[in-house]
Amino acid sequence: MTHRTDAAVDGPGHGTLSIASILAETARRRPDRPALHFMGRAVSYGDLWNQTRAYAGALAARGIGPGSRVAMIVPNVPDFPRVYYAALALGAVVVPIHLLFKAEEIAFVLQDAEADLLVAAAPLLAEAAPAAARAGVPLTTVLAPEGLELGGALVSRLEAEAASASPILRHTPVNPLAAATVLYTSGTTGTPKGAVGSHLAMVEQVHCSLIDSFDLRAEDVVYGGLPFFHSFGQMAVLNIAFRAGASIILLPKFDPDEALELLVRHEASVFTAVPTNFAGMVAAAERNPARPPLRYAVSGGAALPPALLEAFERAYGAEVHEGYGLTETSPSCTFNAVHEPIRPGTVGRPIWGVDVAVAEAETEGRIELIEEPDTLGEIVVRGHNLMKGYLGRPDATEAAVVDGWFRTGDLGTVDAEGVVTIVDRKKDMIIRNGYNVYPTEVEAVLSRCPGVALAAVFGLPHETHGQEVHAAVVPAAGADLDADAVVAHVKERVAAYKYPRTVHIVDELPIGASGKVLKRELVARFRR
């Protein structure tokens, strides 16, 4: 057989795709439909796209274009989608940053991503401004009042730049496999890594979710309290709702009583959140008898205890559909589809076009699938939803994606019907309120605390937060450690979700034959 090559068949092709078209197309089709509800005002799709085009014009005037990297640290306010889609409309890559990051953490992301610009909300300038200066990255702001000064100089305001810029006419075409976002994830070890998501993976995620997982309609009103800097909120709320033409209720900071009031006021029909939010909403329901007309709810980010699922359903009369995913998988891998009976305690079946299997957990450099149903092993994933890789870390990418399968680091099972259950973490990563905390980073901070000789960080189950961060520390010789002082030391240096709420002062840490700390023994000791 003769093998022929043809550029039209085997070449990269000339097709284009952009996440920006999600907003642009809905604005064209439903310009008068409310896209956002925020602080008593509605922003229509037509107005939001026009504002986005103006923001894009301002960014273009700064030299932002295809391949540029625009970092942003903006809460869930209308400026998030304006900046997000404006950058994407220019063919640039968006780098959303965690709102709770301290200056040192922000600077790391800016340097690692080689950001060309940082767009920061004015209320976050206390950490963002020194980080930008340290990284040598230009800074502009949103939500800043006119005349605001920083270091004796006027703060650059993107709103003012947009007002005088020429709006773009249409979004820039990009290759479907081009990078769209860099989302930083802690993973299980080492420093945070930037997972690069393509336009294709993210758009396909949206369409698969709309067709097979969610029953989302143009007339729906969706709760938008999940942070958009995170893959879950960005994809399962912002992009999916905008593709469907639904409306989003923005809430920059979760407060259960305020959330319930907004859900009722705007007659919300879909509630998407992490387990801690569900717990808050159950408590709020005991204080307020008013109820929104919810059709269903979506949970992700961490395991939802069945008892909490049932309590929410009783309080709000809406079924909760749980899914599973990671930043590296755009994020959804599996879901308890809305049109199917829910299976509490599971994360449902794989979404369309995505394979989820169980592999031997201890192998390295190869994948050995376990075909027997209900057998515990490491969850592995392949499909259109996979990241392009970790930015600037080919070794980490090669270790994570083996034979086309992404190694999640999660232990679980797949039954004969393809239903996936997540059982435990393969390694020591802690998930608190849906956010990843990797112990090595916190341990590095603890090691710089005066009087600390050794430290080990581990997670213990917590009813509200899923897991709570604990630390066991060994005092240096002659040191008189105070646990509260150690907590305060770490709290000042890392994001709020990372620092240990409890520090245990111990004489020694359990060490295995290989010299590694046996954290499972710490978990067993302090779990009692």
**For residue 374, how far is the Cα from the chain centroid?**
29
The pLDDT score that the predictor gives to residue 483 is: 96
Question: What's the pLDDT at 411?
Answer: 82
What's the pLDDT score for residue 302?
75
The CATH number of whichever domain residue 44 belongs to comes to 3.40.50.980
Structure tokens at 315: 């309080």
pLDDT digits (tens, 9 = 90+) for 98-123: 998 999 999 999 999 999 999 999 99
Instruction: Indicate whether 40 belongs to any domain.
Output: yes
Question: Would the pLDDT of 313 be above 70?
Answer: yes
Local structure of 152: helix, strand or coil: coil
Q: What is the DSSP letter of 236?
A: I
- Among the three residues 175, 205, 228, which one is the final residue of a domain in this structure? 175
Q: Are strands 221-224 and 247-250 parallel, antiparallel or unpaired?
A: parallel
User: What is the rounded CA–CA span in Å between residue 43 and residue 32?
Assistant: 9
Does residue 352 sit within a domain? no
Q: Give the residues across from 367 on adjacent strands.
A: none
| Interatomic CA distance for residues 228 and 237, integer angstroms | 8
The pTM score is 0.85
The per-residue pLDDT for 150 is 87
The domain boundary residue, chosen from 129, 155, 175: 175
Beta partners for residue 71, in sequence order: 95, 118
pLDDT one-digit tens code per residue, 410-430: 888 999 999 999 876 666 778
**Does residue 30 belong to any structural domain of this protein?**
yes
Is residue 260 in some structural domain?
Answer: no
Q: 445 lies in which domain range? A: 430-527
Domain C-terminal end among 140, 175, 210 = 175
Name the pLDDT band for 448 (thresholds 50, 70, 90): confident
The Cα–Cα gap between 7 and 356 comes to 33
In a domain, 325, yes or no: no
**Hey, which bits of 227-282 come out as E strands?**
247-250, 270-273
Confidence bin at 4 (pLDDT 50/70/90): very low
Domain count, the chain: 2
186 assigned to some structural domain = no
What CATH number is attached to the domain comprising 523?
A: 3.30.300.30
Closest CA to 166 of 85, 80, 47, 61: 61
Task: Judge residue 315's burial from the number of C-beta atoms within 10 Å of its C-beta, 0-12 exposed, 13-18 middle, 19 or more buried.
Answer: middle
Per-residue model confidence (pLDDT) at position 514: 39
Q: Return mean pLDDT, the chain.
A: 92
**Could you tell me if residue 17 is inside a domain?**
yes
Residue identified by tokens 């947009």 is 162
Q: How confident is the model over 212-232, as a mean pLDDT? A: 95
Report the C-alpha gap between 469 and 462 in whole angstroms. 9
CA distance 245 to 243: 6
Using 50, 70 and 90 to split pLDDT, how confident is the model at 183? Answer: very high
Peptide bond into 176 cis (omega under 30): no
Q: Which two tokens stand for residue 317?
A: 């009369």
- Please report which confidence band the pLDDT of residue 9 belongs to, taking 50, 70 and 90 as the band edges: very low
Give a yes or no: residue 387 inside a domain.
no
Name the CA dihedral angle for 173, 179, 180, 186, rounded to a multiple of 10 degrees: 180
